Amino acid sequence: MADGYRVGVDIGGTFTDVVLLGPDGTLRTKKVLSTPGDYSRGVVAGILELLGDTGVTPASVTKVVHATTVASNAVLEGKGSSCCLLTTAGFRDVLELRRLRIPVMYELQYEKPRPLVPRRLRYEIPERSGPRGEEWAELDESAVRRAAERARDEGVAAVAISFLHAYANPAHERRAAEIVREVVGHDVYITCSSEILAEIREYERTSTAVVNAYVGPVVRRYIRSLESSLVAAGFTAPIQIMQSSGGLMSAEAAIRKPAHLVESGPAAGVVACAYLARATGIPNLISLDMGGTTAKAAILEDGRPVKTSEYEVGAGINLSSRLVKGGGHAIRLPFIDLSEIGAGGGSLVSVDELGIMHVGPESAGSQPGPACYGQGGDRPTLTDALVVLGYLNPEYLAG
């Protein structure tokens, strides 16, 4: 093993876990409450507490590996950034039309997930490219400028651009992005579909670009804050971020393509489970990762996670059947195949006007947390229910 200490950090909506791996292979751990106002504060505080316990200095750390649920929680809880969409004239409603598939067959009352971009913020731009990249109609730059001005006036934080057949010819998207940048300035996050997914299939490409834009400002703000906080604390090691596929990417790459981080935290848990599967000689497993905000499940076959290139945030596992998809927001990128729901230990329980009980997706988080924490929370959560029912004993293990 290389000299120096390595730090691993897994941040969720409620708890942040820190692991310190020494040059000799020794492991030390720490669990602290997450800080939703600025998640980087919880990360740095957890790392410094653990280093303080072990007498290790920040300068001795040679690598920081990080898994996070910041992106997925933003989508599942509907707390991403205000986003608009520029699309080819006639394709404004592709996010509404989606595919014909639905997760519940014969459910006539089924309601599709609400698009991340409301219809009033979807702007049609006259332009057209053919499937081989030939230009059929010039880009109407004045229409792009008008749309950008409307977006600026609406105060959007992110812009997604998805033109028909841009995978074959991205010139119109790139020029539109330049015009939008001139109008809205450098603080607004811009995503071109041809940059995040240069592949055929209009709905999947548009949806992937929208998800990337929707979480982009949230992820950028978080990573920049984390980098500056670590530098201020004396760390010089580079940050590597866990991807949804189980691989790693640099902080800069994560800021450019945050859609790759949507299942960052859950993917790290499945990778760890795969290691345990091989170490224990139990090759076929179901992993379950329940946090304070979400719960995730995955399948391991022959000691390896099942992977997919078609994923839906907030929907069932892709392996089940292609015929019952449509329950989440589509992303066409490499993913560990996961089933995820917005229900965790801190998920708020509510009763609607019909007397029907609902769990999540909003979470009490770490501040104020469940009512049983005694930190001022006054709304019931799953954890509170478990305490009242006696399933969680405050005086015993995990209590």
Q: What is the mean pLDDT of residues 298-315?
A: 86
Asked which of 35-39, 247-251, 325-329, 347-351 is least confident by mean pLDDT, the reply is: 325-329
Q: How far apart are CA 83 and CA 215, in angstroms?
A: 9
Asked which of 80-84, 88-92, 292-296, 320-324 is least confident by mean pLDDT, the reply is: 320-324
Q: What is the pLDDT of residue 326?
A: 55
- pTM of the full structure: 0.85
pLDDT in tens, 180-234: 999 999 999 999 999 999 999 999 999 999 999 999 999 999 999 999 999 999 9
> Residue 3 pLDDT > 80, yes or no?
no
pLDDT band at 1 (very low <50, low <70, confident <90, very high): very low
Which is higher by pLDDT, 58 or 362? 58
pLDDT band at 316 (very low <50, low <70, confident <90, very high): low
Per the DSSP assignment, residues forming a β-bridge with 153 are none
DSSP assignment letter at 238:
P
Which is higher by pLDDT, 394 or 50? 50
pLDDT band at 70 (very low <50, low <70, confident <90, very high): confident
> Residue 117 pLDDT > 50, yes or no?
yes
Per the DSSP assignment, residues forming a β-bridge with 250 are 240
Which is higher by pLDDT, 88 or 327? 88
Nearest to 168 by CA among 194, 206, 144, 190: 194
Q: How far apart are CA 122 and CA 85, in angstroms?
A: 5
| Residue in this structure with the two tokens 């104020």, named with its chain if needed | 368
Q: What is the mean pLDDT of residues 6-33?
A: 89
Question: DSSP assignment of 327-387, as one string?
Answer: SSEEE-S-EE-EEEES--TTEEEEE-TTS-EEEEEEE-TTTT--GGG-SS--S-BHHHHHH
Q: What is the mean pLDDT of residues 71-93?
A: 91
Select the highest-mean-pLDDT range: 24-33, 72-81, 183-192: 183-192
> Residue 323 pLDDT > 50, yes or no?
no
Which is higher by pLDDT, 119 or 394? 119
Decide if 73 contacts 11 (C-beta within 8 A).
no
Which is higher by pLDDT, 83 or 14? 83
215: tokens are 């979480």
CATH class of 5-75+220-261: alpha beta
> Residue 2 pLDDT > 80, yes or no?
no
For 190, counting Cβ atoms within 10 Å of its Cβ (0-12 exposed, 13-18 middle, 19+ buried), the class is buried
Which is higher by pLDDT, 86 or 364? 86
Q: What is the mean pLDDT of residues 72-77?
A: 83
